[in-house]
Amino acid sequence: MIKKFVVGSFEDEKVLFPAVKNVRRAGYKIHDVYTPFPVHGLDHALGLRETSLHTMGFIYGITGTSIAIGGMSWIFTTDWPLNIGGKPHFPLPAFIPIAFELTVLLSAVGMVWTYCWLNKMMPGVKKHHFSPRATDDAFVMVIECTDKTNEVELQSFLQNNGAIEINVQEAEEGWWFGRYDKDQKLYRTEEVSV
Protein backbone atom coordinates (compact mmCIF):
# COMPACT_ATOMS: atom_id res chain seq x y z
CA MET A 1 0.00 0.00 0.00
CA ILE A 2 1.36 3.38 -0.95
CA LYS A 3 1.45 5.83 1.93
CA LYS A 4 2.85 9.22 2.70
CA PHE A 5 5.78 9.51 5.06
CA VAL A 6 7.73 12.34 6.66
CA VAL A 7 11.38 11.36 6.90
CA GLY A 8 13.81 13.03 9.27
CA SER A 9 17.49 12.17 9.57
CA PHE A 10 19.51 12.68 12.74
CA GLU A 11 23.25 12.64 13.11
CA ASP A 12 23.56 11.64 16.73
CA GLU A 13 22.03 9.10 19.08
CA LYS A 14 21.89 11.70 21.82
CA VAL A 15 19.59 13.86 19.64
CA LEU A 16 17.61 10.88 18.41
CA PHE A 17 16.42 9.61 21.78
CA PRO A 18 14.74 12.83 23.01
CA ALA A 19 13.34 13.31 19.49
CA VAL A 20 11.74 9.87 19.55
CA LYS A 21 10.31 10.67 22.95
CA ASN A 22 8.92 14.03 21.84
CA VAL A 23 7.48 12.70 18.57
CA ARG A 24 5.70 9.92 20.41
CA ARG A 25 4.43 12.33 23.06
CA ALA A 26 3.09 14.66 20.36
CA GLY A 27 1.02 11.74 19.11
CA TYR A 28 2.65 11.12 15.74
CA LYS A 29 2.86 7.56 14.50
CA ILE A 30 6.46 6.44 14.02
CA HIS A 31 6.65 3.95 11.17
CA ASP A 32 10.22 2.89 12.00
CA VAL A 33 13.67 4.20 12.85
CA TYR A 34 16.53 3.05 10.65
CA THR A 35 20.00 3.09 12.20
CA PRO A 36 23.44 2.17 10.87
CA PHE A 37 24.05 -0.12 13.86
CA PRO A 38 21.95 -1.64 16.65
CA VAL A 39 21.13 1.05 19.19
CA HIS A 40 20.70 -0.09 22.79
CA GLY A 41 17.34 0.80 24.28
CA LEU A 42 15.84 2.18 21.09
CA ASP A 43 13.23 -0.56 20.89
CA HIS A 44 12.24 0.36 24.43
CA ALA A 45 12.06 4.07 23.56
CA LEU A 46 9.94 3.29 20.53
CA GLY A 47 7.58 1.24 22.69
CA LEU A 48 7.84 -1.84 20.51
CA ARG A 49 6.28 -4.95 21.95
CA GLU A 50 8.55 -7.88 22.67
CA THR A 51 9.13 -10.13 19.71
CA SER A 52 7.27 -13.42 19.47
CA LEU A 53 10.21 -15.00 17.65
CA HIS A 54 11.31 -17.12 20.61
CA THR A 55 7.81 -18.50 21.14
CA MET A 56 7.89 -19.67 17.55
CA GLY A 57 11.37 -21.07 18.17
CA PHE A 58 9.99 -23.17 21.03
CA ILE A 59 7.16 -24.46 18.84
CA TYR A 60 9.57 -25.37 16.03
CA GLY A 61 11.87 -27.08 18.52
CA ILE A 62 9.07 -29.16 20.04
CA THR A 63 7.98 -30.09 16.50
CA GLY A 64 11.52 -31.28 15.75
CA THR A 65 11.69 -33.37 18.93
CA SER A 66 8.30 -34.93 18.21
CA ILE A 67 9.18 -35.75 14.62
CA ALA A 68 12.46 -37.36 15.64
CA ILE A 69 11.16 -39.38 18.58
CA GLY A 70 7.89 -40.25 16.88
CA GLY A 71 9.49 -41.17 13.58
CA MET A 72 12.24 -43.31 15.05
CA SER A 73 10.00 -45.08 17.52
CA TRP A 74 7.49 -45.91 14.78
CA ILE A 75 10.22 -47.21 12.47
CA PHE A 76 12.03 -49.28 15.08
CA THR A 77 9.06 -50.68 16.96
CA THR A 78 6.31 -51.03 14.37
CA ASP A 79 7.49 -50.64 10.83
CA TRP A 80 10.82 -52.45 10.71
CA PRO A 81 12.07 -53.73 14.07
CA LEU A 82 15.75 -54.62 13.97
CA ASN A 83 17.97 -56.10 16.62
CA ILE A 84 20.88 -53.68 16.85
CA GLY A 85 23.61 -54.75 19.24
CA GLY A 86 21.10 -56.50 21.49
CA LYS A 87 19.53 -53.19 22.46
CA PRO A 88 15.78 -52.91 23.09
CA HIS A 89 13.54 -51.87 20.22
CA PHE A 90 12.89 -48.56 21.86
CA PRO A 91 16.39 -47.48 23.00
CA LEU A 92 15.66 -43.98 24.23
CA PRO A 93 19.28 -42.95 25.01
CA ALA A 94 20.29 -43.78 21.46
CA PHE A 95 17.47 -41.61 20.12
CA ILE A 96 18.38 -38.55 22.15
CA PRO A 97 21.25 -37.25 19.94
CA ILE A 98 19.06 -37.43 16.85
CA ALA A 99 16.11 -35.86 18.65
CA PHE A 100 18.43 -33.10 19.84
CA GLU A 101 19.84 -32.46 16.37
CA LEU A 102 16.40 -32.31 14.77
CA THR A 103 15.20 -29.97 17.52
CA VAL A 104 18.10 -27.62 16.85
CA LEU A 105 17.73 -27.88 13.09
CA LEU A 106 14.02 -27.16 13.01
CA SER A 107 14.14 -24.36 15.55
CA ALA A 108 17.13 -22.70 13.86
CA VAL A 109 15.84 -22.90 10.30
CA GLY A 110 12.30 -22.08 11.36
CA MET A 111 13.43 -19.05 13.34
CA VAL A 112 15.53 -17.72 10.46
CA TRP A 113 12.54 -17.88 8.12
CA THR A 114 10.22 -16.40 10.73
CA TYR A 115 12.71 -13.63 11.37
CA CYS A 116 12.78 -12.85 7.66
CA TRP A 117 9.00 -12.92 7.49
CA LEU A 118 8.58 -10.61 10.48
CA ASN A 119 11.11 -8.15 9.07
CA LYS A 120 9.67 -8.40 5.56
CA MET A 121 12.92 -9.47 4.01
CA MET A 122 13.57 -12.50 1.86
CA PRO A 123 15.97 -13.33 -0.91
CA GLY A 124 14.79 -11.48 -4.01
CA VAL A 125 12.47 -9.19 -2.12
CA LYS A 126 12.65 -5.40 -2.44
CA LYS A 127 11.77 -2.68 0.03
CA HIS A 128 11.64 1.05 -0.20
CA HIS A 129 14.73 2.85 1.15
CA PHE A 130 13.78 6.04 2.91
CA SER A 131 17.31 7.38 3.07
CA PRO A 132 20.54 5.83 1.82
CA ARG A 133 22.37 7.45 4.72
CA ALA A 134 20.67 5.03 7.12
CA THR A 135 23.26 2.46 6.03
CA ASP A 136 26.09 4.89 6.57
CA ASP A 137 26.03 7.58 9.24
CA ALA A 138 22.48 8.81 9.87
CA PHE A 139 19.61 7.75 12.12
CA VAL A 140 16.50 7.97 9.99
CA MET A 141 13.15 8.43 11.64
CA VAL A 142 10.15 7.70 9.42
CA ILE A 143 6.78 9.04 10.50
CA GLU A 144 3.63 7.83 8.85
CA CYS A 145 1.13 10.50 7.79
CA THR A 146 -2.53 9.91 8.58
CA ASP A 147 -5.46 12.06 7.40
CA LYS A 148 -5.07 14.33 10.37
CA THR A 149 -1.31 14.89 10.11
CA ASN A 150 -0.19 18.35 9.20
CA GLU A 151 2.99 17.76 7.22
CA VAL A 152 4.33 21.30 7.38
CA GLU A 153 3.86 21.43 11.12
CA LEU A 154 5.47 18.00 11.50
CA GLN A 155 8.47 19.02 9.43
CA SER A 156 9.14 22.05 11.54
CA PHE A 157 8.56 19.94 14.64
CA LEU A 158 11.28 17.56 13.49
CA GLN A 159 13.58 20.44 12.69
CA ASN A 160 13.14 21.81 16.19
CA ASN A 161 14.08 18.41 17.55
CA GLY A 162 17.39 18.39 15.77
CA ALA A 163 16.74 16.62 12.45
CA ILE A 164 19.23 17.69 9.81
CA GLU A 165 17.54 16.38 6.66
CA ILE A 166 13.76 16.39 6.36
CA ASN A 167 11.63 15.40 3.40
CA VAL A 168 8.24 13.98 2.50
CA GLN A 169 8.03 10.74 0.57
CA GLU A 170 5.23 8.72 -0.93
CA ALA A 171 6.28 5.14 -0.80
CA GLU A 172 5.21 1.56 -0.77
CA GLU A 173 5.49 0.45 2.85
CA GLY A 174 5.51 -3.28 2.26
CA TRP A 175 7.80 -5.47 0.23
CA TRP A 176 7.61 -6.70 -3.33
CA PHE A 177 9.40 -8.93 -5.77
CA GLY A 178 11.22 -7.51 -8.76
CA ARG A 179 13.03 -4.26 -9.43
CA TYR A 180 13.26 -0.94 -7.69
CA ASP A 181 11.42 1.95 -9.31
CA LYS A 182 13.63 3.96 -11.58
CA ASP A 183 13.21 7.16 -9.64
CA GLN A 184 14.48 5.68 -6.40
CA LYS A 185 18.19 6.22 -6.25
CA LEU A 186 19.74 3.68 -3.90
CA TYR A 187 23.09 5.39 -3.59
CA ARG A 188 23.91 9.03 -3.61
CA THR A 189 26.44 9.80 -6.31
CA GLU A 190 28.85 12.53 -5.42
CA GLU A 191 31.37 14.31 -7.53
CA VAL A 192 34.83 13.35 -6.48
CA SER A 193 37.30 16.19 -6.78
CA VAL A 194 40.77 14.97 -7.43
Partner 1 sequence: MKNQYVTPAGYKKWSAGFMIVGLLTLILGVVFLNPAAGAHGDNVNSTRFWAVLLQNSLFWLMIVNVATFFIVITTLAMGGWQTAFRRVAEAIGSVVPIMGGITILIMLCIILGGRGDIYAWLDKTQLSHNKILNHKVGFLNPYVYLIVSIIVIFLWAFIGRKLTKLSLESDDAGTMDSATSKKWLIQNMSWSAFFIVLYLLTVGSIIPWLWLMSLDPLWFSTMYSWYTFASTFVSGIALLTIFVIYFKNRGQLEFVTQEHLQDLGKFMFAFSIFWTYLWFDQFMLIWYGNIPEETIYFKIRLQGPYAGLFYLNLILNFVAPILIFMKKATKRNYTIVTFMCIVILFGHWIDFYQMVMPGTVKYHPHFSWFELGIPLGFVGVIMWGVNRFATKVSMTPLNNPFMKESMIHQV
Q: Which is nearer to partner 1, 65 or 161 (CB)?
A: 65
54-57: Cβ within 8 A, 24+ apart: 56/110, 56/111, 56/114, 57/107, 57/110, 57/111, 57/114
Amino acid at 157: F
Is there a contact between 130 and 5 (Cβ–Cβ < 8 Å)?
yes
Pick the closest to residue 171 from 127, 135, 120, 122 (CA basis): 127
Site size with partner 1, rule: CB under 8 A: 12
Does residue 25 bind partner 1 (CB under 8 A)?
Answer: no
Q: How far is the CB of 31 from partner 1 (least distance, A)?
A: 25
Does residue 121 bind partner 1 (CB under 8 A)?
Answer: no
Does residue 41 bind partner 1 (CB under 8 A)?
Answer: yes
Is there a contact between 29 and 142 (Cβ–Cβ < 8 Å)?
no
Does residue 97 bind partner 1 (CB under 8 A)?
Answer: yes
Considering only 27, 38, 47, 85, the residue that binds partner 1 (CB under 8 A) is 85
Does residue 180 bind partner 1 (CB under 8 A)?
Answer: no
Between 44 and 83, how does the x/- string for binding to partner 1 read (CB under 8 A)?
------x---x---x-------------------------
Is there a contact between 120 and 81 (Cβ–Cβ < 8 Å)?
no
Q: Which is nearer to partner 1, 50 or 191 (CB)?
A: 50
Instruction: Indicate the pairing of strand 139-144 with strand 2-10.
Output: antiparallel
The residues binding partner 1 (CB under 8 A) are 40-41, 50, 54, 58, 85-87, 93-94, 96-97
